[in-house]
Structure formats: C-alpha cells, structure tokens
Chain A
C-alpha cells in the first residue's frame, strides 16, 4: 500500500466506484478508494477538499454516498455488499460526519476567501467569468494581485459581515405532511436546524448531550416534534420527556428577563404610575383573578400560548442580534459594574432625555450655511463633464455690450452682396448635412446612443470594458521590464490581450455590426484599446 504510515480509521470492502469494485479507506487526513486487486488508490481526497457528503434516500435500491468537493466535482461510492450495505454506509457517513467539521476549519482559507470575494462582489465575479472561465488568463494570474490587495485591506472590514437573522416563522415553515397512514413527516433543512439551535440554545445543549450517544439524529428530532415542548399549548405533564427540562430552562430565562426589568424607563409599566392603588382600594370588580388555581384548563393553555409567543419572539430577536452585540454588551456591563451601581442613573439620563425631548426639525432654525440643492436641467451635460476649451475664456459684460453694439452697427450697415451667393444645389446639400441624420449631425445622434442600444448590449459592453481594463492593468504592471520573469510575463500578457481581442471583442464587434449600423462605439473602443497598449 502506498501510505502505510497513515492511520486507517475505517475500511469498507465491496464499494463500487465507476462500476468497479473496490475498497474504501477512511484515513486520518483523507478518504481513498482503490480498485480490487490493485495496490494503489485511484481516488483520493483530502478531507479538507470535501465540501459535503450526500447520501441516497433510505428507500432507494442503490445505497450510495456522494462526496462533493470544493472544486465542484463529485465522487459517488456505491456500497455493494448486499447484506451490510446500509450498515457500511452509515458507518462511513458517521465517521465522515465527525471528521469533516474538523477539517472544515482547516480547509483552504484562501479558497474560502476567494469564494467569499466572488460572492460579495458581483463585478469581480463577472470579471472572473469573462477572463478565467473563458480561459483568457489562468486563475492564478487572475488572483495573483487580487489577493495581495485582500491582505492589505483591513481584515475587520469583512469579519463583521452582517449576520443573517432568523425568520420569525421558521417553526411554521416546517410543514408536517401526512404520509398516508397515521404518521406525519417533518422536513428539516440545515437552515431550520440552525435556526432552532440559535433560537433555543437549550435544545442545542440537549442535542449535544444526546446525539449521537443516546439517540440518533433522527430519533432526536422525532422526539422533538412529539414533545410538549414543541406543542406548547399542551400543558406540561410528563417528566420522561427530555425536553421538559428545556421548557423549565426557558421558563427560567423568561423569568430572569422579567426580573431584570427594562432599561428604557419610558416603557416600564411598573414605574409608569406615580402612585398605584393599594390592594383593596379602587374599583376592581371585573378583574378576574390571575392565580392559576382558578383558571380552567383551557384558559391556562391559552395563557401558555401567549407566553410562548412572547418568548419565541424575544428569542428570535435575541438570536438575530446576539453575535453583533456581545462585545458592546460586555463593555457596557463592565462600565456599569466598576462604577457604583447607584451611580448608574447618572449615566441613564442622556438616553432618557433624548427620549423625553421631542424635537421638531421644522421648528429648528437652520444654523448651517444654506446649501443650494443641485438642480440639473441637462443631466447629460453634467455627466459628460466640462468642455475643456471655451470655458476658460470669460467675457465681461462690457465686452458683451461692445460686441452687441458692434453687431447692431454691422447689421445696420449690412448690404447683401447678391453676386457672391452659393448655388442652390450646394445650399441644399449643406442644409441636408446640417439637418438631423445628416453627415455633420452625426455627433448629435451619438448622444442618443444609450437609447438606441438595448440594455443587455450595454451591459455586455460594460463587462468587456472592465475585463479589458483588468487585462491592461496586468499588462502595465509589468513595466518597467527589468527581470526576465517580467519580460516573460509581458509577452504572455500581450498574447492574452490579443486573445482577448480575438475571442471577445471581435465577436462583439461583429454582432454589433450585424445588428446596428452605427459602429463607431466599438471602433472607438478598439481604438482606445490600441491607444492604451502602445
């Protein structure tokens, strides 16, 4: 065997891969499979490369296990031992389940990083598609100076990526389906389980305690759905239920939340009244007693539902904000604990004051200098920027008056010189040239190009533009060419550019030409490309 030094954790015989019988080995760092009778592995994956495993549904004839890699490839193993196929598969699955998370953490940081960047930045993703997937440049080249930039940027920036909250209705999304006979089927996804764990830490704790020692995962969830805990409208009676403890914990949590009281004095109903009526005073005739002894079963179950909804909403809310808040929470706690607790209401007033003082913005006098709102009559002129030449020369009003006088003077003395006029044909052609669509008015028509060209073509053009810019950046980054490596790279980049023009620009140009007569856009573009290169 090739790697005897490795610790082999599990060996499963009679596993088929690509219609070939063989043996599956699960080792400390990788999973491998070798065909029968040969002493080498044809399939070998490091655990770190595996993204997830999938198994075939229970009812299926073939018992299979599929490994999906980060690269998107997948390998399917078919457990072919007739009698023990299921057991084998379960064993492999369980082991993998324990192993994979360990390696997940170690998994290629860079890969994850790249993945994340591509997911978060659609422009980059498009660029990646344009250049790498279409094989203009290789992935390494693409990332070569991207990742350098990544490490430079502040890591904190993406560490605090926004947490995704939990849907308030995640329990409602688990729609039970009847399976024909007297059973219910619940469909759980990883998301829902995650939501349940985040919202109810007590359940997670139970899960960690019981799975997989006492119960299988499936049993655990079956019990969960059967429990009184899930159906909180039923009154908690049995103690054999493993979730009854969770219920108690929740109760305790709710109580402690209530005891803690509220921070915002404006919503504290207890301190709202300046003076509460003592017991025995006031008209309290219609008020039903709240003690539990007097409640009927139905009433107390109703009460339980209400309590449950309050608790559920509070937990969902807390789960959504828990992660982001913990550091600040701690900070505020320490600040309040090291100061005398009596002094805490010295800190409190600012919040309270802000709430008490309702400000009307419209009654405030504006102190800052009046800003003039930007009011654009011709937004395209604003977008195109100033025209460089004439704007430099300003004419004073005296100049204008002078010139007006001068023109008036001229006009007054104007005498048509009829012998030197244009011939009528020349005049007509001049007029046609100046009217819309004419030769001299082409420039005017260009302005409307964004209306003429459909948006997908515009989008494509934009992508091409960005991609070309990226390539050029690579190209220019090689200068000055002072090492052989750079020289080589320049040559490679040049060929890349040429290939880009060949594979991307040409087809686009042709397509545009086919569809639209006005080709000046793409001409401009290729010209611009050439200008930049040389």
Chain B
C-alpha cells in the first residue's frame, strides 16, 4: 500500500482497492501523516462511509493508528476524532432513545429541545425538556472535548458521565467520520465544518453507489395519499393560525418582520431546529429575503392550497405524461398563476411557519414538507430533472394509482457543492470498475485514478463462470429464458452440488425479488430445496427488513455452530449492500444471472436518455456498468481480507463476454483464467473442490513473509523497493 499517490495537495481522486486489504487504514495513516506534517495545509479530514457499522469500524481503525503513533513517538498527541451519527444512534435521553425509528427520535427530540419549548420551560419549569441538552447548553458548550478518539458508544458514554447531550457535542475535531448523507446536505455540512471547509480532505468510502445516493437525495414521489395528508396538514395550519391570531397576534407579526429581514437572520443560532432534511435543498436562498406574496401566514397557506389543488388536477390523468421542470413551471403559471420565485421559498417558508406556530410534532407534517420541498426543487433546477406522471402501475393497469415522480437524473447536481467546497475529495471502494465512468457521471476532474490489486501469498479467491448445466443447457437469467424450466433446474443443481462441497456458509444472489420468489417456488415443487436441506439450512431474504435481519442472524448462528447454511438474497437488496460475510460466513457466493436493473421503468429510461445526451454514455454501457458493479459488490462480500477465502461463482454465460468481464474490478478479473470461462456445473464443482481443499490448509505467517507481509528489513531492502516501484508502474 506504499504506492498511494500523493493527491492531497489539491485535486480529487478515484481509487479502487479490494476490500479487506487495509484500504481504510492506509488512507487514514497517509492523511493523518500529512496532517501532522502540514497542519496548515490540511486542517480536517472528513471521512464518509455508508452504514453505521462501517463508520464505527473506521473509528476503531483510527484508534489503533493513534495508539501506534503515541507508542512510537512516546508522546500523547492532541488529535480529536469522532464519529457522528443521527440522533437515533446518539441520543441518551432514556425516553427518546427507546424509540426504534429515526424519524420518531428526531421528532421527539425536537419536541424537547426546540427553542420555543425551552422558552416555555423557562417560564413554566414543569414543562418537559431534555435535561441533557439543558446541561450541555449551560456548561458543555464552552468546554472542549478532550483529545482522543470517540466512537459512537464513547460519545454516549462521555455524554452520560457529564450529563450532556452527545448529539450536540459536534465540535472542532481533526477527523470526523460520518455517513455521507450528512455531507451531501449543505446545511449539515455547514454546521460541521464551517469556515475551515476549504482545507479539508473528504474521503467517500464504499462509494460505488454514490451516484444513486445523490439521485435519491434529490428525488420526490407524490401519490394521491401524500396529497390527502397534505390537505389535512394545510387545514391544521389554517386552524392553528386562526387560533393564534385570536390569542397571540404579535407572534405572527414578529415572524413577518423577520422574514422581511431575510431567512438568514432567522436561522442564526438555531442549531436545534436544523435537522437532516430529506432532499438536498439549495442553500443560496438562505441569502435572500422571502418574496412578499407568501410572507404572511394566511397568504402562505392559501398559496399552498392552490399549489395542492393544482397537483391534484395533474394527478387526474389517464395516460403517462413526461415533462421537464420548465414545462411544469410554465403550466403551473398558466393554470393557477403561481410564480417561480415564491415556489422556490416554499420549503423555508413552511419551516419558519411551523416554528412560529410552535408545532412540536414535525413528523406529522411530513406530507406538507414533502410538497414544499418539491416546490423548491422544481423551481430551482431547470436542468437534470424530469417529471413523470403515471396514472397506474404497469403490472396492474386496472387499478388507478397515480404517482408523480420528480426524479433527478444528474448525480453531479447533489455532489457539486462538495467538490467545489473541499480541496480534495477521494472516492474509493472495493469495486469501482470501470473507473473512468465515475468522473464522467459525477462531473469532476480527478488528478489520480487507480485500481489496485491484492498482493496475495495464495490465490484466495476463485472466480468461476458457469455457463452451462450438465446437460449443456446455456445458463442465463435473460428475459427470454428466465421462465425456462431447464435453466431453473440447472441453477438448482448448481446450488445443490455446491451445498454438498462448500463448508459453512453459502450466499446466493438473485437478480430481483420477483425472480427469486419464482425460482424458490419452482425449486420447492421440484424437490430441489429438500435435497439442499439435507446439506444445509436455508434462509431467504424478504422485503421486510426486520424479517431479513432475523434470517440473517439465524444464518450466522447456523454457520457458527457448524451446521452450515445458505442465504438466498437479492442483488441491490439490503443484504448485498451492507452486510459482510467474513470467513466462514461466506465461503462461496453464487450470483445467479446478471443483475440488470429493471429496464422498463420510465424513470430509468429518462435517466439513460439524459446520460446519452449530456455525458455521451451509451445506454448499454451504463446498464452493463450498473449491473456489473452490483455483481461485483455481491461477490466481493465474501472476501474481506487476505486470510479469508471464497469461491465466486458467476452463473450466467453472459459473464464470459469481454464487455461484461472487462467491467469487473481488476482484483477479480486477474484471477479469471481462460479455462474457467464457460464451465458446466460438474466442472465447476471439480474446480471448487480442489480450491477448497487447498485453502483449508493452515495459513501461517511464514507463508506470507516477503509476499504480502514485509518485515521492516525487507521493506527497506533495495530489492523490495524496486519491486514495489515496478508494481506501482503497472497501475
């Protein structure tokens, strides 16, 4: 890992490194070293990862690194590093933290800490507030957090000891580790890394899906139910305003005055009222004043009502409509005379109103918030978005279920502020191939792009492409043959044979839930599942996350106690994205078919069109790229380090084609031999047996010395330096 290029000076980079080879630690140690050497050049490291366990892992790595530093230098360093997460993971309030869902926790916290609640508490001490926040506000704000490494649990611990709320302990840390949603939201990003932003280094780990995250963060769907809820919300608002007008008219006047002065003013010192809002909203509007038409509360409610009626009329369509944002704006102006400018301020105006009306349960107003966010987005961005109105689902054309999709097609919109704000952004993951497509779709110019492979003392991964069944039937999940019984039977055979020879855990991925359900049903009818059960227990992922978690835990238990199990799962599902199958939890991964995205969706079609027009990326290239990155993600779950080993079985003949194979990460590609391109099930079984038998031999330190493990002397030796230089040249 010594060959990591120096890209911290300035500029962005894309790095692909196989998982489990110390990607995190090498990046961390490099950046920390740089930070120590040039404390003025790089002030802050923002490390973004995807899931909570991954975030915690990063912090643990960092802790080790710091321990090593203090051991080597024999002095305690004053680094402060901490992990950040949502309130749900950090709250220590006994009542609030017992809630299970993030939204509930946010809502409850808000109802205890909002500024007006606290004001009320001042006048009436029996009014409930969060004592932890009060304590923090009174004492903790001035006291800096002692230097050290804080994981989520450490923060909670610290908070409990001091009686301070850990969520608001966000201070000036040298290293911040959090989920990348936080960075993509400009408001939160501001809060965390105020004026020092320019000299920060940002690392996006596990970033292979970053474009989808960007797109998700800016897309909105509106159904008839949303509109109904919103209607209720608007009515509630109306009533509340009436009531307040009778009792406390001054409050509304005060709000009006503030709005005249500008939203920015209104936002000062209101950290508790800011919470991670869903779509990414542009922050320029914070600089401007709210237009006059929606300044008074009644006017705004009336405005919302008109907008709502307009949307309702739009949903009463009989056929599919697709239009761009400007078209939509023109139409709305023609029909109900709503201008672009007030629409843009819709979201902020609603938030301000909710604050003024002292509505505690923000979660109740999610529908209204959604509509207003949509209004803001549609009026802000003229490019890169599309509006699709579908009167019914494709599968059920008789049931009217109109949906308005406002979908983002350009991931660079959401991530652009990040690239602009920070001096260097590093995007990294185990599977980023082909590398050149990421800069194109995210619209930035990387200084470095590199794909590293593993230096292995033994070939611990064994990718096999199974293209035929024993009866020579071509295996493929493509549309024409997916109902074919011969294919399904052969897939079943493959799993059955593998279950007999692979020890402990096997994970099998299907291309979609529907496909998996069908296959499981026909395996059940053919008795294949029964035969598999003789060898291993079967667990199946469902669309219900709680149920799947249980299945997953049982699966691990079964692997742990030696019974062995099979997990049937879905590519693009939750399991394929966030769960690692280390060591015996996954000795083999079988990928049934190529996980193409559902191509008939209009949203996808629109996005493909946009990609073709804007970035000159052909539809097929993108689809294959997308399918292959998911396939690589799935099979990559099994190998989490050099001591790990696992089979990777691609059960589809299309994987053998150069255009598919070439899009796999280099560290997988280089182990695919010409001999393993189009195997039958039997051949694959033979190869696997051989591989597993070899891998099961004890793997000792001596075997790795000089190859994947270097002693200090070896590292300094001339010969090894040459070798490293040579390897570095190749990449």
Contact = CB atoms under 8 A, between A and B. Distances in A.
Interface string B591-629: 000000110011110000000000000000000000000
B558 interface: yes
A288 B709 CA distance: 49
Given A265-B52, A269-B545, A342-B97, 20 more contacts: A168-B538, A168-B563, A169-B531, A172-B533, A263-B553, A268-B549, A269-B546, A274-B179, A275-B179, A281-B278, A282-B217, A283-B219, A283-B407, A288-B513, A310-B547, A313-B537, A320-B563, A321-B557, A321-B561, A345-B153
A473 B450 CA distance: 76
Contact of A281 (B94, B219, B521, B549): B219
Contacts of A345: 153, 156
B89 interface: yes
B215 interface: yes
5 closest cross-chain pairs (CB), A and B: A172-B530, A274-B179, A169-B533, A282-B216, A313-B537
B545 A168 contact: no
Contact of A302 (B517, B527, B537): B517
Given A275-B86, A342-B94, A356-B53, A280 B370 contact: yes
Chain A interface size, under 10 / 10 to 19 / 20 to 34 / 35 or more: 35 or more
B56 A285 contact: no
Interface in B522-559: 524, 527, 529-531, 533-540, 542-554, 556-558
A257 B219 CA distance: 35
- Which of the listed residues A264, A288, A294 has the most CB atoms from chain B within 10 Å of its own CB? A288
Contacts of B133: none
B574 interface: yes
B527 A286 contact: no
B187 interface: no
Nearest to B153: A349
B23 interface: no
B404 to A, nearest CB: 10
A398 B56 CA distance: 66
A266 B85 CA distance: 16
Given A168-B563, A281-B278, A306-B542, A314 B517 contact: no
A314 B219 contact: no
Interface string A26-47: 0000000000000000000000
Contact of B536 (A168, A289, A290, A310): A168
A7 interface: no
A361 B640 CA distance: 15
B549 A261 contact: yes
Interface in A105-126: none
Interface in B215-232: 215-217, 219-223, 226
Contacts of A342: 94, 97-98
B89 A274 contact: yes
A305 B518 CA distance: 10
Nearest to B157: A346
B53 A265 contact: yes
Interface string A247-281: 00000001001110111111111111111111111
A173 to B, nearest CB: 8
B552 A277 contact: no
A353 B283 CA distance: 39
A230 interface: no
Contact of B533 (A168, A301, A310): A168
A362 B701 contact: yes
A263 to B, nearest CB: 7
A468 interface: no
Interface in B639-676: 640-641, 643
Contacts of A284: 221
Contacts of A302: 517-518, 520-521
Contact of B563 (A165, A290, A306, A362): A165
B558 A317 contact: yes
A532 interface: no
A286 B601 contact: yes
A268 B535 CA distance: 27
Contact of B86 (A274, A283, A309, A363): A274
B220 A281 contact: yes
A273 B521 CA distance: 31
Contacts of A50: none
Contacts of B55: 274
B130 to A, nearest CB: 15
B552 A275 contact: no
A361 B699 CA distance: 11
A298 B215 CA distance: 34
A307 B641 contact: no
B535 to A, nearest CB: 8
A320 B212 CA distance: 43
B658 to A, nearest CB: 29
Contact of A279 (B182, B366, B513): B366
B727 to A, nearest CB: 20
A316 interface: yes
A329 B579 CA distance: 27
A167 interface: yes
A280 B558 contact: no
Interface string B314-340: 000000000000000000000000000
Contact of A317 (B98, B276, B554, B604): B554
A39 to B, nearest CB: 58
A168 B566 CA distance: 12
Contacts of A257: 550
A455 interface: no
B216 A313 contact: no
Nearest to B699: A362
A283 B603 contact: yes
A473 B51 CA distance: 68
Contacts of A290: 543-544
A233 B553 CA distance: 25
A270 B704 CA distance: 39
B706 to A, nearest CB: 12
A262 B545 CA distance: 11
A439 B689 CA distance: 53
Contacts of B216: 277, 281-283
A257 to B, nearest CB: 5
B540 A310 contact: yes
B240 to A, nearest CB: 23
A271 to B, nearest CB: 6
Interface in A309-357: 309-310, 313-314, 316-317, 320-321, 342, 345, 349, 352-353, 356-357
B178 interface: yes
A267 B521 contact: no
A265 B85 CA distance: 15
Interface in A353-387: 353, 356-358, 360-363
A269 B553 contact: no
B154 to A, nearest CB: 9
A280 B221 contact: yes
A303 interface: yes
Nearest to A233: B524
Contacts of B556: 264, 267
Contact of A275 (B102, B536, B547): B102
Interface in A59-99: none
Given A271-B52, A274-B51, A290-B544, A306 B370 contact: no
B667 to A, nearest CB: 18
A299 interface: yes
Contact of B534 (A172, A285, A310): A172
B534 A362 contact: no
B150 to A, nearest CB: 13
Contact of A280 (B57, B220, B579): B220
B575 A269 contact: yes
Contact of B552 (A267, A271, A298, A306): A267
A267 B578 CA distance: 9
Interface string B496-519: 000000000000000001100110
Contacts of A169: 530-531, 533-534
- Which of the listed residues B94, B178, B550 has the most CB atoms from chain A within 10 Å of its own CB? B550
A265 B88 CA distance: 14
